[in-house]
């Protein structure tokens, strides 16, 4: 049978539903686990959905704050396969819209005194072939298509960050290809290399 836990409806604001594990005075707090049912064919699904409204509600997932140590981790991982089949896919996207769609932002927090965290996008190693990483901008029907920008960080008192584009090592090294876009009617795209300028009175611009 089904189990429904819900608060009553209200004309102004409905009540909240809270599922909380008790606090611990010394060691670790309790464990809260939401598990869907197992099945011989396809296991059950866990769905976490915010409410609909004039503006849709938000879904917030956050790990715990560390009072004297590091904050908790937040791990999103697909299910593994007990056979030789592939593991599940992790899909992060904004919803389709008749107007503009929402942004997808991957960023680390600001560090007030120490080094900020890194953003690492990597594929796993494979016995036959490693996975690819593709950065693809969506096509545009009438206007200019979107850009891809790879920019190193600026520094106020020291050297700016470095951008490295390296092909892979191997029995035969991998090629590095820079190619401008094809023009179906007008000119093809250019390839431009610019060294950095200098604002210092006794300094020179960069070299190529």
pLDDT tens per residue, range 60-110: 988 888 888 888 888 988 988 888 888 999 999 999 988 888 999 999 888
Question: For residue 23, what pLDDT is reported?
Answer: 80
Percentage of the residues of the chain whose pLDDT score is greater than 90: 6
Q: pTM of the prediction?
A: 0.71
Could you read off the pLDDT of 12-31 as tens digits, one per residue?
A: 888 888 888 888 777 788 88
**pLDDT (mean) for 51-62:** 89
The dihedral sign for the CA sequence 109, 165, 92, 34:
negative
Q: What's the chain's Rg over C-alpha atoms?
A: 25
Could you read off the pLDDT of 96-132 as tens digits, one per residue?
A: 988 888 999 999 888 888 888 899 998 888 888 888 8
The residue written with tokens 């594990």 in the block is 21
């Amino acid at each position: 049978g089904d189990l429904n836990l819900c608060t009553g409806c209200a004309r102004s604001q409905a009540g909240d539903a809270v599922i909380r594990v008790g606090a611990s005075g010394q060691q670790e707090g309790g464990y809260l686990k939401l598990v869907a049912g197992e099945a011989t064919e396809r296991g059950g699904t866990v769905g976490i959905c915010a409410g609909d409204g004039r503006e849709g509600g938000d879904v917030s997932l956050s790990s715990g704050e560390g009072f004297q140590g590091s904050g908790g981790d937040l791990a999103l991982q697909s299910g593994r396969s007990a056979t030789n089949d592939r593991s599940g896919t992790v899909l992060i996207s904004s919803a389709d819209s008749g107007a503009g769609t929402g942004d997808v932002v991957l960023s680390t927090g600001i560090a007030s005194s120490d080094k900020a965290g890194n953003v690492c996008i990597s594929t796993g190693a494979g016995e036959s072939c490693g996975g690819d990483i593709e950065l693809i901008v969506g096509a545009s029907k009438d206007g200019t298509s979107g850009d891809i920008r790879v920019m190193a960080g600026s520094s106020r008192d020291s050297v700016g960050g470095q951008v490295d584009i390296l092909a892979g090592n191997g029995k035969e090294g991998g090629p590095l290809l820079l190619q401008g876009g094809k023009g179906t009617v007008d000119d093809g795209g250019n390839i431009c290399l610019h060294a950095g300028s200098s604002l210092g009175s006794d300094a020179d611009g960069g070299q190529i």
